[in-house]
């Protein structure tokens, strides 16, 4: 592909931006709000919003050549390579007979967060398992085996109907109570129920049935060594959790387990965790430098200053360790979503944000002349980031996404403006009207459209037209995020903003409803959104590549961590996961 200068590249766009004024944003010193080197293991009070003085100048693993497709980890790379090859041989060996052991091994590989090393072998085994299911017409009679096969196949896009679980019902059409002592079977069944789609009542019944029996079992067996496993299954089912964030818990559950391949996987996963952690630490150094250089925290003091939290979102969406540059770049627009949200929600006047929205829609610096300096600074940063990311995507994948990216920012600001107008006028929208707008104002589509182009697979006119118009695969995780936020466990980062919520507007329309009833309504809507997302990603044919489907699922999986506030407006679960994944290495 012929090289192309950035200037020529953007001149070719249907919208021709001026060169961004270079003096609007000064490179000012800024305290670094996310170094974890200041966190000794005894540190008990680290918070996302807390400033830390040092970057990862020294990490548990220091190796050169980050940013290339082949990361050099010195002697550890050799050990990792040998152990990986041993595990691949083991997987191919157990996969030859299409038996249950191969499913158990795939399950362990996925839960350890190392499945990206085994994609071809997993595909081959599950293809054989699906062919076996089609030939025999059922998945077996053992609940654990049936449920695990169902989940693994459906996760991979192979449709297995939920009625395979009818074998476990009694004559009255209820699930057999004799299953109460099959703890492994109940856990697998509960995990399988998380992949339900609309209309699969049997899986809704299964979820309630398993949850009830597993909770009762925990009460009866408080000292059993499986209690923690059961609790983790109920609280963090695999399909609705981020595997890398949960991997350490699975390490602990493997302790003392027999089986050569399992021990080899355990050792491989520990090495892999530490190596990938070191890559993420390197990314944080790069983001730290960018955030300091761009100077937005200094220039826009009213806005949130939490780049590490923003980076975690990009880390969740782009899980392949080789996507180092893409994760760093994705953190930049994520930071602008939060900053622009604060402009609309806590700082700008209605007149100012109206003019700002017009400028974004036109993408024209001339339209900024009437705006205050802080808005000019924000637009300049947004323009620079959008141009830089678009140019990189064009160089790598041959498609100029600048128009699509600008459209996402325009639609985001349009949605923010609608909310500002509602607040200013004292108008209360209908709950459905609020949610339709809130899906866009969540910013999820901005993140996922950037992600789609960064992944670079399946970019065609058809798929670009789809992502430009917020398809279900994007609107479903956006709905999940907005409704989780609206459950109102705490005000977002103690910002004194003007956000409404679905619960408020629902209760206003349904005068006789209680807060409890409104919250239950929202919980049901989140469940329904998950079912639609499952159908979009796992059942219905769609033109998007598997990696993008996974990114959309991961966005939804990330939501509970982003919005589970405590009474102090903190995010203790997210903070603990961030420390675990980014700072605390695994002893070998």
Does residue 210 sit in the same domain as residue 321?
no
Residue of higher predicted confidence among 127 and 259: 127
- Residue 499: its pLDDT value, please? 64
What mean pLDDT do residues 219-244 have? 93
Long-range contacts made by residues 471-474, C-beta under 8 angstroms, separation at least 24? 471/536, 472/532, 472/533, 472/536, 473/533, 473/536, 473/537, 473/542, 473/544, 473/548, 473/549, 473/552, 474/444, 474/445, 474/448, 474/449, 474/552
Mean model confidence pLDDT for the chain: 85
Does residue 484 sit in the same domain as residue 556?
yes
What mean pLDDT do residues 226-254 have? 90
Is 7 within a domain?
Answer: no
Is 377 within a domain?
Answer: yes
Q: Which residue has tokens 């919003």?
A: 49
Does residue 315 sit in the same domain as residue 264?
no
Does residue 330 sit in the same domain as residue 248?
no
The 10s digit of each residue's pLDDT in 405-451 is 999 999 999 999 999 999 999 889 999 999 999 999 999 999 999 99
Does residue 136 sit in the same domain as residue 221?
yes
The pair of three-digit structure tokens given for residue 328, joined into one six-digit string: 């760093």
Residue of higher predicted confidence among 251 and 107: 107
Q: Please, are residues 267 and 83 in contact by the beta-carbon 8 Å criterion?
A: yes
Q: Please, are residues 499 and 344 in contact by the beta-carbon 8 Å criterion?
A: no
Does residue 442 sit in the same domain as residue 507?
yes
Least confident of 5-14, 195-204, 236-245, 441-450: 5-14
Does residue 196 sit in the same domain as residue 113?
yes
- Residue 562: its pLDDT value, please? 87
Q: Which residue, 268, 293, 327, sits at the end of a domain?
A: 268
Range of the domain at 98: 75-268
Residue of higher predicted confidence among 565 and 462: 462
The 10s digit of each residue's pLDDT in 324-352 is 999 999 999 999 999 999 999 888 899 99
Q: CA separation (Å) from 371 to 356, 376, 381?
A: 7, 7, 15
Residue of higher predicted confidence among 460 and 58: 460
Burial class (CB in 10 A: 0-12, 13-18, 19+), 555: buried
The 10s digit of each residue's pLDDT in 61-78 is 433 333 334 555 667 889
The 10s digit of each residue's pLDDT in 492-507 is 444 444 567 999 999 9
The 10s digit of each residue's pLDDT in 278-307 is 999 999 999 999 999 998 888 888 888 889
Does residue 496 sit in the same domain as residue 576?
yes
| 22 — pLDDT class (breaks 50, 70, 90) | very low
Q: Please, are residues 52 and 34 in contact by the beta-carbon 8 Å criterion?
A: yes
The pair of three-digit structure tokens given for residue 186, joined into one six-digit string: 């109940």
CA distance 295 to 341: 18
- Residue 250: its pLDDT value, please? 86
- Residue 254: its pLDDT value, please? 66
Q: For residue 482, what are the β-bridge partners?
A: none
| 149 — pLDDT class (breaks 50, 70, 90) | very high
Tell me the CA end-to-end span of the chain in Å, nearest whole number.
Answer: 45
Residue of higher predicted confidence among 141 and 90: 90
Is 531 within a domain?
Answer: yes
Question: Does the pLDDT at position 314 exceed 60?
Answer: yes
- Residue 97: its pLDDT value, please? 79
Least confident of 22-26, 155-159, 171-175, 192-196: 22-26
Question: Does the pLDDT at position 46 exceed 80?
Answer: no
CA distance 442 to 381: 20
Q: Which residue has tokens 């209309």?
A: 199
The total of structural domains in the chain comes to: 2
Does residue 242 sit in the same domain as residue 309?
no
Does residue 391 sit in the same domain as residue 508?
yes
Quote the pTM value.
0.88
The 10s digit of each residue's pLDDT in 455-495 is 999 999 999 999 999 999 999 999 999 999 998 643 444 44
- Residue 10: its pLDDT value, please? 43
CATH number, domain with residue 154: 1.50.10.130
What mean pLDDT do residues 549-576 have? 88
Is 163 within a domain?
Answer: yes
What mean pLDDT do residues 228-243 have? 95
- Residue 577: its pLDDT value, please? 87
Q: Please, are residues 478 and 553 in contact by the beta-carbon 8 Å criterion?
A: no
Is 546 within a domain?
Answer: yes
Least confident of 28-42, 203-217, 222-236: 28-42
Is 379 within a domain?
Answer: yes
The pair of three-digit structure tokens given for residue 19, joined into one six-digit string: 């060169």
Question: Does the pLDDT at position 246 exceed 60?
Answer: yes
- Residue 564: its pLDDT value, please? 80
Is 44 within a domain?
Answer: no
Work out the angle between the directed axes of helices 143-155 and 119-136 (0-180°, nearest 10). 120
Is 40 within a domain?
Answer: no
Q: Please, are residues 397 and 456 in contact by the beta-carbon 8 Å criterion?
A: yes
Does residue 309 sit in the same domain as residue 250?
no
CA distance 179 to 358: 61
Backbone angles phi, psi at 227, to 5 degrees: -60, -45
SS3 424: helix
CA distance 318 to 453: 12
CATH number, domain with residue 510: 1.10.600.10
Does residue 411 sit in the same domain as residue 506?
yes
């Amino acid at each position: 592909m012929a090289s192309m200068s950035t200037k020529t590249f953007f001149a070719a766009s249907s919208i021709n931006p001026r060169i961004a004024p270079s003096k609007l944003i000064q490179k000012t010193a800024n305290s670094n709000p996310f170094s974890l080197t200041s966190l000794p293991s005894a540190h008990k009070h680290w918070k996302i919003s807390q400033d830390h003085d040092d970057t990862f100048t020294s990490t548990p693993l220091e190796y050169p050549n980050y940013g290339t497709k082949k990361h050099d980890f010195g002697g550890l790379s050799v050990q990792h390579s040998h152990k990986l090859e041993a595990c691949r041989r083991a997987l191919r060996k157990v996969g030859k007979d299409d038996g249950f052991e191969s499913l158990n091994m795939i399950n362990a590989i996925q839960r350890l967060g190392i499945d990206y090393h085994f994609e071809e072998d997993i595909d081959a085994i599950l293809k054989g398992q699906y062919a076996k299911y089609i030939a025999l017409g059922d998945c077996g009679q053992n609940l654990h085996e049936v449920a695990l096969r169902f989940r693994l196949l459906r996760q991979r896009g192979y449709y297995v109907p939920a009625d395979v679980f009818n074998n476990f019902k009694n004559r009255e059409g209820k699930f057999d109570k004799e299953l109460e002592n099959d703890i492994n079977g109940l856990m697998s069944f509960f995990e399988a129920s998380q992949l339900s789609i609309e209309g699969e009542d049997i899986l809704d019944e299964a979820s309630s049935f398993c949850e009830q029996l597993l909770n009762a079992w925990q009460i009866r067996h408080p000292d059993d060594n499986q209690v923690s496993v059961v609790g983790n299954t109920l609280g963090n089912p695999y399909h609705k959790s981020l595997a890398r964030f949960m991997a350490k818990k699975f390490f602990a559950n493997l302790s003392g387990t027999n089986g050569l391949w399992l021990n080899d996987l355990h050792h491989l996963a520990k090495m892999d965790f530490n190596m990938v952690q070191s890559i993420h630490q390197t990314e944080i150094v790069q983001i730290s430098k960018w955030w300091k250089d761009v100077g937005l925290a200094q220039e826009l003091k009213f806005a949130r200053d939490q780049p590490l939290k923003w980076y975690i979102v990009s880390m969740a969406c782009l899980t392949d360790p080789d996507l180092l540059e893409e994760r760093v770049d994705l953190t930049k627009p994520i930071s602008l979503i939060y900053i622009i949200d604060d402009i609309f929600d806590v700082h700008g006047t209605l007149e100012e944000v109206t003019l700002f929205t017009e400028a974004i829609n036109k993408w024209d610096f001339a339209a900024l002349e009437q705006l205050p300096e802080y808005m000019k600074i924000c637009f300049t940063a947004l323009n620079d980031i959008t141009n830089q990311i678009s140019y990189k995507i064009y160089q790598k994948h041959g498609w100029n996404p600048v128009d699509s990216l600008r459209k996402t920012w325009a639609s985001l600001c349009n949605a923010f403006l609608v909310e500002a107008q509602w607040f200013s006028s004292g108008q209360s929208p209908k709950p459905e009207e609020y949610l339709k707008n809130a899906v866009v104002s969540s910013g999820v589509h901005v993140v996922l459209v950037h992600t789609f182009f960064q992944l670079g697979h399946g970019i065609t006119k058809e798929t670009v037209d789809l992502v430009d118009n917020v398809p279900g695969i994007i609107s479903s995780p956006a709905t999940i995020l907005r409704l989780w936020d609206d459950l109102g466990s705490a005000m977002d980062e103690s910002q004194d903003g003007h956000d409404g919520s679905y619960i408020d507007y629902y209760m206003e329309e349904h005068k006789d409803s209680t807060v409890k009833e409104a919250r239950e309504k929202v919980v049901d809507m989140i469940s329904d959104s998950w079912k639609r997302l499952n159908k979009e990603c796992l059942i219905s044919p769609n033109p998007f590549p598997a990696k993008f489907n996974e990114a959309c699922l991961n966005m939804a999986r990330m939501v509970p961590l982003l919005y589970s506030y405590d009474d102090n407006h903190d995010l203790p679960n997210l903070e603990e996961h961030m420390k675990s994944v980014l700072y605390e290495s695994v002893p070998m």
